[in-house]
């Protein structure tokens, strides 16, 4: 699918971007694989791992999604775009709202407009469970970005350009996540938990990359792709990682939810269910016509996909096997996560 094609990843030096580069190079031989980001130090460090000598397709471009002129130039002769650049730290977003809006909303608009004008074949924007019924600014900006991506098809005209979104849950053992914190606190005998009742959807970086590449192979545009994922409560996670340790409840932080949603009940009338994922369609889409052409089945009215009512719960043994594989893998990102779900990459 990506062989002899040009692929660009905005925010390409982040956790997801680095892993996506690794996965693409494992399965494909792209003509160019472009890392587009603002941080020259991260690019310098990444270029020592994915060198031009070993991977002649690699390109590293300094740029910001806020800078439309630079973005337009970077998109020249590109076939596929993965938009992963975002400001995503919830408390920092609340304190710096103008900056988050400039990157997450206006930056997404720049990506869409430049991609259309440069004739990009397929564009995927990365979303988050926090974009569903948002309670903080970060989630609100990502919801707005999702809407922009779904509406972007209205501006395509006669061009062959498909624009869709991928929305998934918390990434296991990513930088700043709760698992590295629990592993660090385990030695002290006390683990700090915001609220033991709190539940989250969980996915590994490897699986997130697989799902995005799967989405490229089936997307038609104006869809939000939502993987079926396991959930787990924080108290169960803490007990599995550090049995015998005391759990200290510190309270939910401002802007956090007790449970996360990836599909809200009011959106159910636009959702199509497949074996291992859901697709939420734009309000301009005909769901019955989409099902007739693409397959799948309509969900019941009022259906919600929530972390605390999710039938697939991650067991303590599964969690420990995942953590073991992530710690053993180079770079701590894991190559073969032992979760049940798999999305086939069409090579």
In contact, 53 and 27? CB cutoff 8 Å: no
In contact, 332 and 310? CB cutoff 8 Å: no
User: Residue 300 is inside which H or E element, if any?
Assistant: none
Q: Alpha-carbon distance 247 to 262, whole Å?
A: 28
Residue of 88, 130, 142, 257 marked active site: 130
Beta bridge partners of 166: 126, 225
Question: Tokens for 249?
Answer: 């409840």
Contacts of residue 209, Cβ cutoff 8 Å, sequence gap at least 6 = 16, 19, 20, 23
Residue closest to 167 by CA, chosen among 206, 218, 121, 201: 201
Q: What is the DSSP string of 77-130?
A: T--EEEE------HHHHHHSHHHHHIIIIIHHHHHHHHHHHTT-SEEEEE--GG
- Calculate the CA dihedral of residues 172, 177, 183, 188 and round it to 10 degrees: -160
102 is a catalytic site residue = no
Helix, strand, or coil here: 7?
Answer: strand
E strands in the chain: 6-10, 32-37, 58-62, 80-83, 122-126, 162-166, 170-171, 190-193, 199-203, 223-227, 231-233, 246-249, 261-263, 271-273, 277-281, 297-298, 305-306
CA angle 20, 22, 28 (to 5 degrees): 90
Q: Alpha-carbon distance 167 to 109, whole Å?
A: 18
Beta bridge partners of 80: 7, 122
**Residues forming the active site:** 130
């Amino acid at each position: 699918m990506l062989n002899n094609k040009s692929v660009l990843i905005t925010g390409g030096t982040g956790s997801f971007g680095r892993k996506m580069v690794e996965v693409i190079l494992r399965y494909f031989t792209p003509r160019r694989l472009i890392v587009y980001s603002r941080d020259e130090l991260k690019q310098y460090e990444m270029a020592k791992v994915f060198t031009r000598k070993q991977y002649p397709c690699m390109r590293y471009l300094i740029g910001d999604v806020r800078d439309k002129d630079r973005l337009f130039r970077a998109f020249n002769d590109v076939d596929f775009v993965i938009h992963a650049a975002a400001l995503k730290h919830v408390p920092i977003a609340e304190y710096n709202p103008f900056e988050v809006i400039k990157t997450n909303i206006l930056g997404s608009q720049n990506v869409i407009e430049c991609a259309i004008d440069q004739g990009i074949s397929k564009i995927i924007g990365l979303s988050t469970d926090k974009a569903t019924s948002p309670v903080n600014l970060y989630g609100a900006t990502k919801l707005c970005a999702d809407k922009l991506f779904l509406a972007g098809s209205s501006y395509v005209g006669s061009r062959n350009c498909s624009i869709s979104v991928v929305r998934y849950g918390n990434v296991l053992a990513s930088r700043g996540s709760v698992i590295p914190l629990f592993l660090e606190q385990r030695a002290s005998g006390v683990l700090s938990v915001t609220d033991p009742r709190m539940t989250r959807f969980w996915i590994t970086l490897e699986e997130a990359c697989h799902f995005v590449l799967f989405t490229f192979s089936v997307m038609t545009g104006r869809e939000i792709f939502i993987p079926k994922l396991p959930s787990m409560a924080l108290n169960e996670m803490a007990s599995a990682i550090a049995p015998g340790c005391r759990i200290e409840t510190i309270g939910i932080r401002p802007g956090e939810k007790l449970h996360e949603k990836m599909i809200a009940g009011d959106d159910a009338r636009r959702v199509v269910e497949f074996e291992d994922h859901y697709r939420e369609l734009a309000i301009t889409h005909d769901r019955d016509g989409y099902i007739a052409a693409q397959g799948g089945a309509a969900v019941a009215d009022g259906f919600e996909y929530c972390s605390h009512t999710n039938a697939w719960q991650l067991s303590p043994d599964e969690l420990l096997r995942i953590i073991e594989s992530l710690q053993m893998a180079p770079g701590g990102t894991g190559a073969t996560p032992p979760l049940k779900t798999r999305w086939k990459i069409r090579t």
